[in-house]
Amino acid sequence: MALSPPMASPSSFPEGPPYASTTATVGGAPTKTLDVPVTAVFLLLYVCLAATNATIFRLNRRKNHKFIISALLGGFCNVRTITCSLRIAWAFNLDNVSLIIAAEILLLAGNLILYIINLVFAQRILRARHPEIGWDPRLSFLLESLYAVIGCVLVMVISTIVLSYYTLDEYTLRICRDIYLFGSSYIFFFATLPVVILLFAFLRRPSPNHQHFGHGSTECKALVLLGSSCLCILIAGSRAGTTYMTPRPTGSPAWYDSKAAFYCFGFVPEILLLLLFVVARVDLLFKVPDDSCKIRSFEKAGEAECPVDAMKGGESEVAGQEGRV
C-alpha cells in the first residue's frame, strides 16, 4: 500500500518503466514466512463474509426485500479476496512491479464502498428524525455533488499511482504527491461525514413529523452506524496521516510502515466492520419502503428496497445515478 508516490533515480532502475519504489510503504514488501500465512487468514475471512452477505441478499430477495447494500458488501469482500491474492502473489514475485501496482490500486479503491454505505445509512437516519431537512432537494444536490467528487478523486488517485511508477521526473513526482495528499484528505473528510450527520440529527430535537424505517429503534441504528463510521475513520485517518509524513527510504522505514500497522489499520478494521454489519443485521435495521423515493417519506411500509437514487430514498447513493445502483 503506497501512501506516497514512489521515487527513484535513473541510475537505480535504468531498465524500467515501470520502476520499483525506493520509498518505504506501509507493510513493505510481503514475505513468504510472515505475510503469506497472515494474508491467507484474512483471505479466508473475506471469502466467508462474501458468502454470508451473498446468502443474506438472496434470502431477502426471496422475501421480495432487495437490500442491495448486502450485495455491495459481498462485492467488497470479493475485491478484498483479490487484493489478498495479489499480495500473496507479490510475495512470490517481488520484482513484478505491475503486480504491485494492481495490488495497491485494489487496496485503495475498495474502501470507498464502505464509506459510501455509511453515508447512505446516515442520510436515512437524518430523514427519519428530521424529514424536512433530510428530504430537502438542496441537501440531496449537495450529497450528489460529494459522490461525484469522490468518483473524480478515485480516478485521479489511481492515475497518480500508475503514473508515479512510470516516471522518474522529480517535478512529475511532486505533482503526484500533491494529488495523493488532496485525495487522501478528501477521502478522510468523506469518511467523517456520517458522524457529522449523525451528531446533527441527534443534537437537534426530533421533528414532530419524525418517521420510522426498518427494524429496531433509531438509537440502535445510530450505535451501529457510529461503530462502523469510527472504524472507517480509523482506516482513512491512518492512510491520510502516513501520506502527509515525509517519505522514507525502503531501508529505513518508520513505525507506521511496519507490517503490524498495515494489518491493524487496514484489514482488521474492515473485518470488524463487516462482522458488525452481519451481526447487527443492517439489512433489517436500515431497510426502507420501496415507494419512499416517490413520496419522499418512510411512512408507508413496504417489503422491498427502493432501487433508485438514494437521494430520493433508495440504494443508488452508491452509484450516484437515479434508477441504478
3-state secondary structure 122-143: HHHHHHHHCHHHHCCHHHHHHH
Please tell me which residue, 108 or 9, carries the higher pLDDT value. Answer: 108
Minimum mean pLDDT among 16-25, 152-161, 259-268: which range?
A: 16-25
Q: Domain ranges in the chain?
A: 35-247+274-312
Residue 235's identity, in one-letter code, is: I
Which pLDDT does position 300 carry in this prediction? 54
Q: Is the pLDDT of residue 138 over 80?
A: yes
pLDDT of 105 higher than 60: yes
Q: What does each C-alpha distance from 186 to 182, 260, 270 come to in angstroms?
A: 6, 25, 20
Angle between helices 170-203 and 218-244 (to 10 degrees): 160
Q: Which residue has the higher pLDDT, 234 or 215?
A: 234
What is the pLDDT at residue 292? 67
pLDDT digit string (tens) for 12-22? 444 667 888 87
pLDDT surpassing 60 at residue 309: no
Pick from 293, 237, 200, 203: nearest CA to 111? 237
Q: What is the mean pLDDT of residues 61-85?
A: 92
Phi, psi (rounded to 5 degrees) for 16 = -70, -170
CB 262 within 8 A of CB 314: no
Q: Is the pLDDT of residue 2 over 80?
A: no
**pTM for the predicted model, two decimal places:** 0.84
Where is pLDDT greater, at 141 or 3? 141
Q: Is the pLDDT of residue 113 over 90?
A: yes
Q: pLDDT at position 288, please?
A: 81
Q: What is the C-alpha separation between 242 and 255, in angstroms, rounded?
A: 10
- Average pLDDT rounded to a whole number, residues 101-119: 90
Please determine, for residue 218, whether its predicted confidence score (pLDDT) is greater than 60: yes
Q: In residues, how long is the chain?
A: 325
